[in-house]
Amino acid sequence: MNEPTTKPAPAVGASQWSDAWRRLRKNRAALVSAAVLVALAVVSVVQPMLSALPYDRADLALGPTPPSAAHWLGTDLYGRDLLSRLCFGGRVSLAVGLVSTGLSFVIGTSWGGIAGYFGGRVDQLMMRVVDVLYTFPLIIFVILVLAFFAHQDTVFYEAFVAVYGLVNERARDPGYLPLYRLFFVFFALGSVSWLTMARIVRGQVISLREQPFIEAARSIGVGHLGIVFGHLVPNALGPIIVYTALTIPEVMLVEAFLSFLGLGTEEPLSSWGLLVAGGAETLDIYPWLIAFPGLVLSLTLVSFNFLGDGLRDALDPRVRRDS
Amino acid sequence: MSVLEIRELVTEFRTDDGVVRAVDGVSLSIARGEVLGLVGESGSGKSVTSLSILRLLPEPAARIAGGSILLRSKSGGELDLARATKAELARVRGDRVAMVFQDPMTSLNPYLRIGTQLAEVLELHRGMARPEAWERSRAMLEAVGIPDPGRRLNDHPHQLSGGMRQRVMIAMALLCEPELLLADEPTTALDVTIQAQILELVDAQRQRTGAAVLLVTHDLGVVARVADRVAVMYAGRIVEEGPTEAIFAEPFHPYTVGLARSVPRLDTPRGRRLEPIRGMPPRNLGPRRGCSFRARCDFALEVCAELDPERRAVGAEGSRHLVRCHSDDVAKMRATLPGVARRLEVLP
């Protein structure tokens, strides 16, 4: 058949988002990264449900063993299955990344949006708060949060027991304290990573708020909050999404760093950072204990960075290439 | 009965050089179904007047320093917009008073669908749910002559041409059937054929709903075509106001004469240069002394430097033709107009 094949007509009047999606699809590195991240997330969520080897079941008689048919990635010093620990750690690490970044998204967008929109003294005050928090050392802040709130005498602990008690009747067991403390790691990381987000959103909002369409929105009677969240933030969503994608690996890295120092996730829970920290101690005798967690952590960080770069290119209309 | 009555409105801007009175004692009223053309050069205060009505001024740099802006409802209630609370303003904006802006390319939110932006008006003022608001928006797009309105609701602004976007802006302004429509240079950013269509559209909607229209423009041709009455603004004041024919055919103010003289016309002989009004408009800093047009006026008298001219009635009985000028040598002024300019129909 030699019929001339007509190319499908380019999507006439595609919206900004479908346009961005079209450009993202052409970015192979970003697509592969997204696939890797989805795969890692799915395995992390599913494996602990299926595996016969819980992440915290120790077998001291077995001790550390290299990868084998029974333990695909080997076992750690206490004979715990490394694959199970890696997957459970993936849940924690990804959750830290997503929850903390989500928190930073909500706080940063609201804070920056309101400061930028109202301007003047409100802006001055709100941004000086950001400046002060910027100067505050992150580690000290996290230590303070954990020291002040992450013990059993707080209302937060009662709330945790009440909520977690719904699914586990032994919620008050001290063995679950690390899980409780994990929430404060989420909170502490989220509450320090919104600062840059607030600055980015504020800058965007300031450049947008004098636009005629904002005046037009005021002229139909939209209120202040409606303008900030209904009209200004959606316009700034491109940079916000990109920065969010780049914040996730950053937060995960800080979590790994905190765990490495013994401040973040605690045994018997696991996270990728904690596994790397543990593996580093026995680097020369049991190399698989650091090789696998290190590989997965690096892969995730690289993927998020590639995906963030891809999103930035796809959402930036200035680099809009045709065809 | 006037829908809008502005009395002695004063709007001030704080600048580095001091307080500028952008609007300095403007009084005007618009009746139901009437189109009032507000003309003047850049910086004359015409846009600030229209922004003052809806209190869309860039506060706190700008503020209404005096006067009142009365909005009258059909039932006779009065609301002074100059003193209205934020909540009262939010209820009036987009509902009883709507605005069409100059540049349709930038007056629609580029990230939101057309339908979302139209429906927002109805959700805000009529408490409608999305599907109902969407359907009403579709009907309104159809009414302003947009083909395939159902599909257009799902489009983003960049998918529409400039003329279509201005139709969308007008549709948005008309959704709640406002009593007063403020159109600030609604056709300036459009090409000439689209201009005519948009003006016809505004006029048709005025006839249908009986809305009063304040048409702010520097285009005398637009005013001649659609306005019932014209107010000429200069340096924050209305220097002449009257029926459209009277303003163009029998002007009483040297500035109005100068404007008419500076418009290019089809019967202008080839090669003849247009006659600009010499000089620059003043900035309205500090107190007013004498007539602010006198430095540019060919008919200035000694009294012009001393006394600010009061408003006085001129022209035919009952025509509500008002002028602020000391000179009554109108014959000499009008003699400077090109011969046929006294007839309205030759204006563009």
Q: How far is CA B152 from the centre of its chain?
A: 29
Judged by CB atoms closer than 8 Å, whether chains meet at A213 and B111 is answered as: no
d(CA B296, CA B259): 12
**DSSP-assigned beta bridge partners for residue B322:** B241, B313
**DSSP-assigned beta bridge partners for residue B26:** B9
- Region of B74 (left: φ > 0; alpha: ψ -120 to 50; beta: rest) is alpha
**DSSP-assigned beta bridge partners for residue B19:** B14
Chain segment A87-111, per-residue pLDDT in tens: 999 998 898 888 989 999 999 999 9
Judged by CB atoms closer than 8 Å, whether chains meet at A221 and B89 is answered as: yes
Alpha carbon distance, N-terminus to C-terminus of chain B: 32
B124 closest CB neighbour out of A15, A216, A221: A221
Whether chain A has a CB inside 8 Å of the CB on B156: the answer is yes
**Smallest Cα distance from A280 to chain B, Å:** 49
Spatial contact of B219 and B262, defined as CB atoms under 8 Å apart: no
* pLDDT at residue A295 is higher than 80: yes
**DSSP-assigned beta bridge partners for residue B215:** B37, B183
Chain A residues near residue B186 by CB distance under 8 angstroms? none
Whether chain A has a CB inside 8 Å of the CB on B59: the answer is no
Spatial contact of B205 and B28, defined as CB atoms under 8 Å apart: no
Chain B residues near residue A118 by CB distance under 8 angstroms? none
- The two structure tokens encoding residue B304: 């012009």
B99 closest CB neighbour out of A15, A219, A223: A219
Q: What's the pLDDT score for residue A323?
A: 35
Q: What's the pLDDT score for residue A55?
A: 82
Whether chain A has a CB inside 8 Å of the CB on B207: the answer is no
* pLDDT at residue A279 is higher than 70: yes
Q: What's the pLDDT score for residue B338?
A: 63
Calculate the CA dihedral of residues A39, A41, A45, A46 and round it to 10 degrees: 0
Taking CA–CA distances from B181, the nearest residue in chain A reads A219
Contacts of residue A29, Cβ cutoff 8 Å, sequence gap at least 6: A306, A309, A310
**DSSP-assigned beta bridge partners for residue B10:** B24, B66
Taking CA–CA distances from B182, the nearest residue in chain A reads A219
- The two structure tokens encoding residue B66: 């005096």
**Smallest Cα distance from B256 to chain A, Å:** 31
A221 closest CB neighbour out of B95, B103, B156: B95
Q: What's the pLDDT score for residue B132?
A: 94
Q: What's the pLDDT score for residue B76?
A: 80
Judged by CB atoms closer than 8 Å, whether chains meet at A235 and B94 is answered as: no
- The two structure tokens encoding residue B258: 């100068």
Chain A residues near residue B172 by CB distance under 8 angstroms? 220
Task: Indicate the pTM of the whole model.
Answer: 0.77
Whether chain A has a CB inside 8 Å of the CB on B121: the answer is yes
Spatial contact of B259 and B277, defined as CB atoms under 8 Å apart: yes
d(CA A320, CA A22): 11
**Smallest Cα distance from B101 to chain A, Å:** 7
The mean per-residue pLDDT over the stretch A19-24 comes to 82
Q: Closest Cα to residue A142, out of A196, A182, A102, A98? A: A182
Q: Which of A46-50, A170-174, B52-56, B96-100 has the lowest mean pLDDT?
A: A170-174
d(CA B35, CA B15): 33
Chain segment A118-169, per-residue pLDDT in tens: 998 999 999 999 999 888 887 788 778 877 887 778 888 888 888 888 888 8
d(CA B228, CA B74): 21
Judged by CB atoms closer than 8 Å, whether chains meet at B106 and A212 is answered as: yes
Chain B residues near residue A16 by CB distance under 8 angstroms? 110-111, 156, 158
d(CA B134, CA A168): 48
Whether chain A has a CB inside 8 Å of the CB on B184: the answer is no
- The two structure tokens encoding residue B81: 């917009």
* pLDDT at residue A179 is higher than 50: yes
Chain B residues near residue A238 by CB distance under 8 angstroms? none
User: Where do runs of H (alpha helix) occur along chain A?
Assistant: 16-26, 28-50, 82-118, 120-135, 138-149, 155-164, 177-192, 194-209, 212-219, 224-226, 233-235, 237-261, 272-281, 288-315
Judged by CB atoms closer than 8 Å, whether chains meet at A212 and B94 is answered as: no
User: Which H or E run includes B14?
Assistant: strand B2-15
A215 closest CB neighbour out of B56, B111, B158: B56
Judged by CB atoms closer than 8 Å, whether chains meet at A215 and B109 is answered as: no
Q: What is the pLDDT along chain B (348 residues), one digit of tens a residue?
A: 799 999 999 999 998 888 999 999 999 999 999 999 999 888 889 999 999 999 999 878 899 999 999 999 888 889 999 999 999 999 999 999 999 988 888 899 988 889 999 999 999 999 999 999 999 999 999 988 899 999 999 888 888 988 899 999 999 998 999 999 999 988 887 788 888 888 888 888 888 888 999 999 988 888 988 899 999 999 999 999 999 998 988 889 999 988 888 777 776 677 777 777 888 888 778 777 889 898 888 888 888 888 889 899 998 888 899 999 998 887 788 877 765 444 444 444
d(CA A50, CA A298): 25
Chain B residues near residue A218 by CB distance under 8 angstroms? 56, 93
Interface test with B, best of A12, A19, A209, A213 (most B CBs within 10 A): A213
Residue whose token pair is 């002024």: B333
User: Where do runs of H (alpha helix) occur along chain B?
Assistant: 46-53, 86-92, 114-126, 130-143, 149-152, 162-174, 192-209, 220-226, 244-249, 254-261, 302-306, 330-335
Judged by CB atoms closer than 8 Å, whether chains meet at A213 and B109 is answered as: yes
User: Where do runs of H (alpha helix) occur along B28-129?
Assistant: 46-53, 86-92, 114-126
Chain A residues near residue B103 by CB distance under 8 angstroms? 212
Whether chain A has a CB inside 8 Å of the CB on B120: the answer is yes
Which residues 160-179 of B are in CB contact (within 8 Å) with A?
Answer: 169, 172
Q: What's the pLDDT score for residue A273?
A: 85
Judged by CB atoms closer than 8 Å, whether chains meet at A219 and B95 is answered as: no
Interface test with A, best of B59, B109, B165 (most A CBs within 10 A): B109
Spatial contact of B234 and B305, defined as CB atoms under 8 Å apart: no
**Smallest Cα distance from A124 to chain B, Å:** 16
Q: What's the pLDDT score for residue A318?
A: 54
Interface test with B, best of A204, A207, A215, A219 (most B CBs within 10 A): A219
Please tell me whether the peptide bond between B309 and the residue prior to it is cis, using omega within 30 degrees of 0: no
d(CA B99, CA B202): 12
Interface confidence, given as ipTM, is 0.78
